[in-house]
Amino acid sequence: MENQDLPQMDPRALKATSVNADDTSATSAEPQALKITAASSNPKMFTLPWHKPLATWPEELLANLPRGISRHVVRFVHVGDDVYAMKEITRQVAEREYELLRRLQKLELPTVKPIAVVTGRHTPEGDPLEAILVTRHLKFSLPYRALFARNLRPDTAERLIDALAVLMVRLHLAGFYWGDVSLSNVLFLRDADAFSACLVDAETGDLHVTLTEGQREYDLDLARTNIIGELMDLSSGRMLPSSVDEVEVGNRLVERYHSLWSALTDTDKFNPDEMWKIEKRVNKLNELGFDVDELEMKTAEDGKRVLVRPRVVDAGYASRKLLRLTGLDVQENQARRLLNDLDAYRASTWREGEDLEIVATDWMREVFEPTVRMIPPEYRSQIEPAQFFHEVLDHRWFLAEAAGHDVPMAEAVSSYIEKVLPQYKMDSKTVAAINADADSGVVDDEYTYNENNAHHDDDGYNPDDDPDAAVWSH
Amino acid sequence: MAEVVFDHVTRIYPGNDKPSVDDLNLDIKDGEFLVLVGPSGCGKSTTLRMLAGLEEVNKGRILIGGKDVTTMQPKDRDIAMVFQNYALYPHMTVADNMGFALKIAGTPKEEIRKRVEKAAEILDLTEYLDRKPKALSGGQRQRVAMGRAIVREPKVFLMDEPLSNLDAKLRVQTRTQIAALQRQLGVTTLYVTHDQTEALTMGDRIAVIKLGILQQVGAPTELYDRPANVFVAGFIGSPSMNINTHPVVNGKAKIGEDTVDLPKEAVDKLTAEDNGQIVVGFRPEDAGLATPDDPNAFSLKVVNVEDLGSDGYIYGNIITDGSAAEASQVMSDQNKLTTIRVNPRALPKVGDTVKIKIDPSKMHLFAPSTELRLN
């Protein structure tokens, strides 16, 4: 990474890490002994079989979770009570990505949390092994392919795109150029009726003070191409509803991105007697889930008009409000739904004159907690409490509509658990199919493709005998 | 097919007073493979990103095929950034994996098939076109990803450290493949790397850049045989050139107790700023063992020797004042030692003092004040 613009960078990002993957280090010596630079002090990290290629780690260590397509070997590993994602890559790339993810975390952007870089790995025979980048597995998150492996609403692709557009705008506002935007490089979390997206692969990214239009447009153009490709692939695998037009979905990203970007950054012109329009603008941004921290207002050169532009915007307007009231840390749309329910509770208990903080405490105790306590244990790692609550509210509404009268919460919960929740279960066969797909894109690991060839190639082909060198001489 | 021209191009990042790329003038000829090489922070990636349209140009112009693209959006420049981690799609055939971007762009089906088949032939993937990635080896998968860039038939390929995320084995293999592929395709290519070995083995020409300033452009042998300044001399070549500053006495370089003849025309170019000194450089293979009474030879205290079978290397300290510098201290940084390549059957012992003679026609002389070449 060439950090020429470091002097101007957010100091939080500058002080994020001790790791410096400056590209001169590419020629520096590899560490001779195992070295773990970690952002967490989980002692179990030291007991893992670092001397073995990741693709050969014992089954009992692995968490059977669906993985996305990657060019490198990736595995989910149980480490104590945590699940970590491990990616085997070259030391330079691992250090660089760790450093970048640390910086993005300090800027409070939605990315996976980097845990460690493990270098200096060797087999018992002394052969060097590639480095491993360790990140925390984002609980409840799913790669897009896992979402499409289930029966989903036909507009799923569009909802994923909307989440990706928000993520891209947030990263671009913070000066992050991604260089490889795709559905594969993102994890999705359910967020009420929508999704929220989280960056998982920063290999090609760069952090700048601000991005040029060229950087943003290139990112967007590449995102569009990659997304259409990914959807075409799902379509080839008969996992995409036939009504979905891949190119249209790709174009939707471009539209959503541009409209969100201009809502957040455009300058409005008002007459001095139209100052209410400022409030309107702020409200619109709140609806989009953004807080306005700073507003720039100046008079136009003719002295008759006021120019207004948001200077600093922060995502998570509703989720911050809910966090403040209840201590619940949830996605933006979930927060909005929970806040609405809190409002309804306040009205139905005739407590509109009371402090919202006090009402919120009672709502937690009387409504939210009793509901989410009913999540059956086998689903607790599959669905977030806030999402469960949201879906129960939806279900209750449908029940009430069908019955023609209100339905008690307890009854709605039982019905939901019986009728809807089972959709969340993903059987191990589906996970295995998704992971086999993911592995077929791995470029740099002989363990992965040797095994695949053994199963699927019957022409006696042996990759070890691949006459690559000869190919290039003719 | 297109020529690329950087015409007095400057990039200054906001908040910096020094340019990251300073008044760059560089032509990449039609079909040429030009490698831009330099240490970290030298401005090489910034240069590539300006050509890609990712970075603004503060001064100067960039032309592709005679057309000024300085302010043009990246997607309108007809360039391809190669292997930015292209993913392989498991349910699509190799042909579709290579050609889907053309499909999005609305290229007619027959044209897509034609281009994919052509690329497959070059990449030796013809028999795999209807297979899925699962049935391919790692090397073949890597080539499918290359195919995705090739079928676009862009005017210019841009590659920014494309080998950095490959393991050592695949890196050497891919290096050869990219170079051979580029020659077959004849597409103008700008390749950025910090690795001078990659530069020497791949490029038609190499441009060396340091702190935003272009140092030298030329064919690999040109840079190796006639580096224009001390930086290029030290940067290009592995093991690197031996470079030391010595006093000039009576037109000769004084190395310890010994003197080495210098060409008169080089000594004449020294100025008062050089303080009666000269920078003498020679490559490890351009010097050899001499007899004790050989004139024009200097003494070297041997610190380490290596026998590689085909070659032998002597690492030592030039004896400057009768005693070698503290040997154990220098051992930790072998780069600082003088390196000589010799016949492995004639290796001296560690601790010996030997006489070394530089091939006078292979001596590189530089002025200490300007660091520019004198001969």
Read off the pLDDT of residues B253-294 as tens digits, 9 standing for 90 and up. Answer: 998 888 999 999 999 999 999 999 999 999 999 999 998 888
Q: CA–CA separation, A404 vs A395, rounded Å?
A: 14
* pLDDT value, residue B48: 96
- C-alpha triplet A293, A294, A296: angle, nearest 5°: 160
Which residues numbered 190-229 in B keep a CB inside 8 Å of some CB on A? 194-195
Q: Which helix (H) or strand (E) holds B227?
A: none
Contacts of B80 (CB under 8 A, 6+ apart): B149, B152, B154, B156, B157, B158
Which residue in the set B74, B140, B161 is minimally distant from A218, CB to CB? B74
Residues in chain B closer than 8 A to A466 (CB atoms): 137, 139-140
Sign of CA dihedral A124, A126, A130, A134: positive
Q: Are B341 and B284 in contact (CB under 8 A)?
A: yes
Q: Are residues B212 and B298 in the same domain?
A: no
Same domain, B181 and B203: yes
Are A214 and B55 an interchain contact pair (Cβ–Cβ within 8 Å)?
Answer: yes
Selected residue of A221, A439, A443 to mutate for chain B interface (largest B Cβ count, 10 A)? A443
Domain for residue B204, yes or no? Answer: yes
Do B202 and B314 lie in one domain? The reply is no
- The verdict on B215 and B299 lying in the same domain is no
Which of B191, B206, B234 marks a domain boundary? B234
Order the strands of the B258-261 sheet from edge to edge. Answer: B258-261, B252-255, B242-249, B277-282, B364-366
Of residues B44, B137, B176, nearest to A453 (C-beta): B137
From the list A182, A437, A449, which residue is nearest B137 (CB)? A449
Q: In the structure encoding, which two tokens stand for residue B29, read together?
A: 């000829």
Give A-chain residues touching B166 at CB under 8 angstroms.
Answer: 90, 443-444
Whole-model pTM? 0.84
Say whether both B211 and B68 belong to one domain.
yes
CA distances from B3 to A24, B22, B26, B29, B317 (A): 30, 21, 11, 5, 48
CB-nearest to A457 from B56, B135, B180 is B135
Instruction: Report the candidate in B248, B225, B256 with the shortest Cα–Cα distance to residue B367.
Output: B248
Q: Nearest-CA neighbor of B141 among B155, B127, B125?
A: B125
Cα angle A403, A343, A384 (rounded to 5 degrees) comes to 75
pLDDT at residue number A449:
55
Contacts of A210 in chain B (CB under 8 A): 14
Contacts of A92 in chain B (CB under 8 A): 164
Same domain membership, residue B266 and residue B182: no
Amino acid of residue A402: A
- Output DSSP code: residue A199: E
Closest residue of A to B104, CA-based? A247
B303 and B156 within one domain: no
Q: Which of B204, B234, B264 is the C-terminal boundary of a domain?
A: B234
Of A23, A90, A93, the CB nearest to B194: A23
Whether residues A24 and B194 touch (CB distance < 8 A) is answered with yes
Nearest to B28 by CA among B211, B175, B217, B196: B217
Q: Is residue B371 assigned to a domain? A: no
Report how far apart, in Å, the C-alpha atoms of B272 and of each of A13, B172, B206, B267, B375 are: 48, 48, 33, 12, 18
| Domain assignment of residue B303, yes or no | yes
Class for domain A139-265, per CATH?
Answer: mainly alpha
Q: Which residue has the tokens 């402090």?
A: A355
Q: State residue A310's pLDDT score.
A: 78
Closest-CA distance of chain A to residue B371, Å: 23
Of A23, A225, A463, the CB nearest to B104: A225
CATH number of the domain residue B38 falls in: 3.40.50.300
How far apart (Å, rounded) are the C-alpha atoms in residues B247 and B261? 12
Within an 8 Å CB–CB cutoff, is residue B142 touching chain A? yes
CB within 8 Å: A443 and B166: yes
Q: Which of B192, B208, B234 is the last residue of a domain?
A: B234
The vertex-A236 CA angle with A234 and A238, nearest 5°, equals 70
Q: For B71, which residue in chain A has the nearest alpha carbon?
A: A214
CA distance B133 to A435: 14
Secondary structure (DSSP) of B316-349: EEE-SSSS---HHHHHT-GGGSEEEEE-GGG---
* Contact between A443 and B170 using a beta-carbon 8 Å cutoff: yes
Instruction: Tell whether B98 and B46 lie within a shared domain.
Output: yes
**Nearest Cα residue in chain B from A205:** B84
Binding-face residues of B in 28-47 toward A, CB within 8 A: 39-41, 43-46
The CB-based long-range contact list for A460-467 (8 Å cut-off, 24+ gap) reads A461/B137, A463/B137, A463/B138, A463/B139, A463/B140, A466/B137, A466/B139, A466/B140
Domain co-membership, B82 together with B228: yes
B347: containing domain: 241-366
Q: Among residues 242-301 of chain B, which lie with CB inside 8 Å of chain A?
A: none
CATH of the domain at B259: 2.40.50.140
**Count of the separate structural domains present in chain B:** 2
Is B322's Cβ below 8 Å from some Cβ in A?
no
Query: What is the pairing mode between strands A306-315 and A290-299?
Result: antiparallel
Task: Please indicate, yes or no, whether residues B77 and B127 belong to a single structural domain of this protein.
Answer: yes
CA distance B178 to A150: 41
Q: CB distance A441–B87 less than 8 Å?
A: yes
Q: What is the pLDDT of residue A447?
A: 66
Residue A370 CB neighbours (<10 A): 13
Same domain, B24 and B135: yes
Assess whether B141 and B192 both reside in one domain.
yes
Instruction: Spell out the per-residue pLDDT of chain A, length 474, in tens.
Output: 444 555 567 777 777 777 776 544 444 567 778 888 887 778 888 889 999 999 999 999 999 888 888 888 999 999 988 899 999 999 988 999 999 999 999 998 999 999 999 999 999 999 899 999 999 999 889 889 888 877 667 788 888 999 999 999 999 999 999 998 999 999 999 998 889 999 999 988 999 989 999 999 999 999 999 999 999 999 998 888 888 899 999 999 999 999 899 988 888 888 878 777 778 888 888 888 787 777 787 887 777 777 877 776 778 888 889 999 998 989 889 999 999 999 989 988 888 888 889 999 999 999 999 999 999 998 888 899 999 999 999 999 999 999 988 899 999 999 999 999 988 887 788 888 888 888 887 876 666 555 444 344 334 334 344 444 334 333
Q: Do B167 and A90 touch (CB under 8 A)?
A: yes
Locate the domains of chain A by residue range: 6-136, 139-265, 267-315, 326-424
- Tell me which chain A residues have a C-beta less than 8 angstroms from the C-beta of B40: 2, 22-24
Question: Between chains, do A469 and B104 touch, taking CB under 8 Å as contact?
Answer: no
Inter-chain residue contact A2 with B133, CB threshold 8 Å: no
Tens of pLDDT along chain B (375 residues)?
Answer: 699 999 999 999 888 889 999 999 999 999 999 999 999 889 999 999 999 999 999 999 999 999 999 999 998 999 988 765 778 899 999 999 999 999 999 999 999 999 999 999 999 999 999 999 988 988 888 889 889 988 988 999 999 988 887 777 778 888 888 898 899 999 999 999 999 999 999 999 999 999 999 999 999 999 999 999 999 999 999 899 999 999 999 999 998 888 999 999 999 999 999 999 999 999 999 999 998 888 899 999 999 999 999 999 999 988 875 444 333 333 334 457 899 999 999 899 999 999 999 999 999 999 999 999 999
* Contacting B residues, span 101-130, partner chain A, CB-CB under 8 Å: 101, 103-104, 123-124
Residues of chain B contacting residue A26, judged by C-beta atoms under 8 Å apart: 164, 194-195
From the list A130, A224, A230, which residue is nearest B167 (CB)?
A130
For residue B172, the chain A residue with the least C-alpha distance is: A469
